[in-house]
Amino acid sequence: MKLATLKNGRKDGRLVVVSRDLQHAADAAAIAPTLLDALERWHAAEAPLLALYERLNAGTADGAFAFDPAQAAAPLPRAPQWCDGSAFLNHGRLMEKAFDIAPMPDADRIPLMYQGGSDDLLGPHDDLPLPDEAHGIDFEGEFGVIVGEVPLGCPAALALRHVRLLVQINDVSLRAFGPREMRTGFGFFQAKPSSSFAPVAVTPDEIGEAWRDGRVHLDLTVMRGDERFGHPNGGEMSFGFDQLIAHAAFTRRLSAGTIVGSGTVSNAGGQRGSACIAERRAIELIEHGASRTPFLHFGERVRMEAQWQGAPVFGAIDQRVVQALPPTA
């Protein structure tokens, strides 16, 4: 099943079901007005949403219309929580080697995770408004899951039963702020502005065997302008989403609608390129003694898309970096 949120002037938008080929949609208001409402009542909403999805794919859904991803918000324009992991140890090891950082103790046993802002999540074609190019504007391509309610202390062995939907994310970073914020011990804040999401969230069955071991085994193609920056595969996670969910829920309950991210998709060996600029700069520093690739400039475009069996899964993130306008009052 594929679900999206269309903009309607309200903060949470309106829920629609999207056809498997991403060409058509049907309004789901009679079942649930918003995706968050559907997630909070998933056991009641899932079956009628699935029935609508099947009618839409069969061409028999009443009121079906063309799906325009440019009108889509993030699947959850605001979420109860946004918990982002760093589950690809290859990425962390490259950064440690490039910048002579001491390895994090227990990094191979305990996932890294920070809690980001979830009150203003951006849609797939929204501009990325940011204050200053000097802040080191970077993209980070990753996958994520949206969960139902997860009880405190949920073990990894039971965590995947709470996964409702898969999503594709651009976790935007401002690299100039990261080192200081990490040294404080309080974690990221200014370094992490609003993240962006592909237009469609999908149930795990939509990618068949590519969803296994708590991992999304799909290539994530990342374009910077006309350049293919990388196409790493999500299956190389050192920690699966089962472990990330259990880590997040170790000392707290997770509300329905909590998003858990994988962190930057990263593959060993370098043949598949990178899903963020910082990783490429680290590789350049290791290999050449200096970083060569600049961070993003205003006016640049970033595109990210994952496919399964030759067809798009989530639709594409395709957005432009712009300078944020100063407040007028």
Structural domains of the chain, with CATH:
2-71 (no CATH), 82-323 (3.90.850.10)
**Token pair for residue 145?**
């899951």
pLDDT, tens digit, 9 for 90 and up, residues 23-40? 999 999 999 999 999 999
Interior CA angle at 271 toward 169 and 21, to 5°?
A: 40
Query: How far apart are the C-alpha atoms of 35 and 148, rounded to whole Å?
Result: 12
Q: Pick the more confident residue, 105 or 78.
A: 78
- Work out the pLDDT band at 329, boundaries 50, 70, 90: low
CA within 13 Å, CB half, 321: 26
Interior CA angle at 22 toward 18 and 28, to 5°?
A: 10
pLDDT at position 88: 94
Instruction: Answer yes or no: are the C-beta atoms of 17 and 46 closer than 8 Å.
Output: no
Query: How far apart are the C-alpha atoms of 175 and 56, rounded to whole Å?
Result: 43
Q: pTM of the entire structure?
A: 0.96
pLDDT, tens digit, 9 for 90 and up, residues 93-149? 888 887 777 777 888 899 999 999 999 999 999 999 999 999 999 999 999 999 999
pLDDT at position 178: 86
Instruction: Answer yes or no: are the C-beta atoms of 107 and 87 closer than 8 Å.
Output: no
φ/ψ of 191, rounded to 5, equals -70, -10
**Token pair for residue 44?**
């009641």
Residue 44 has pLDDT above 70, yes or no: yes
pLDDT at position 93: 86
By C-alpha distance, which of 137, 5, 20, 126 is closest to 77?
Answer: 5
17's enclosing H/E stretch is strand 14-18
Residue for token pair 């898969």: 166
pLDDT, tens digit, 9 for 90 and up, residues 247-299? 999 999 999 999 999 999 999 998 999 999 999 999 999 999 999 999 999 99
pLDDT at position 41: 98
pLDDT at position 94: 84
